[in-house]
Amino acid sequence: MRKFCACLCTLAVIGVASPLIAQVHVLIGADKLADGLPPILAGKRVGLITNHTGRDSRGTPTIDLLAARKDMKLVALFAPEHGIRGVATGRINDETDQKTGLPVHSLFGATQKPTPAMLENVDALVFDIQDVGVRAYTYISTLGLAMQAAAEKKIPIVVLDRPDPFGGTNCQGNFARKDRVLPRAYPMHTIWAPPASSRLSTSL
Question: Could you read off the pLDDT of 7-65 as tens digits, one per residue?
Answer: 444 554 444 444 555 667 788 899 998 888 999 999 999 999 999 999 999 999 999 99
For the chain, list residues with pLDDT below 70: 1-23, 133, 135-136, 166-204
Q: What percent of the chain has pLDDT over 70?
A: 67
Domains and CATH numbers, the chain: 8-203 (3.40.50.12170)
Q: What is the DSSP letter of 99?
A: T
- Full DSSP string of 53-109: T-B-TT--BHHHHHHT-SSSEEEEEEE-TTTTTT---SS---EE-TTT--EEEESSS
Does the pTM exceed 0.85? no
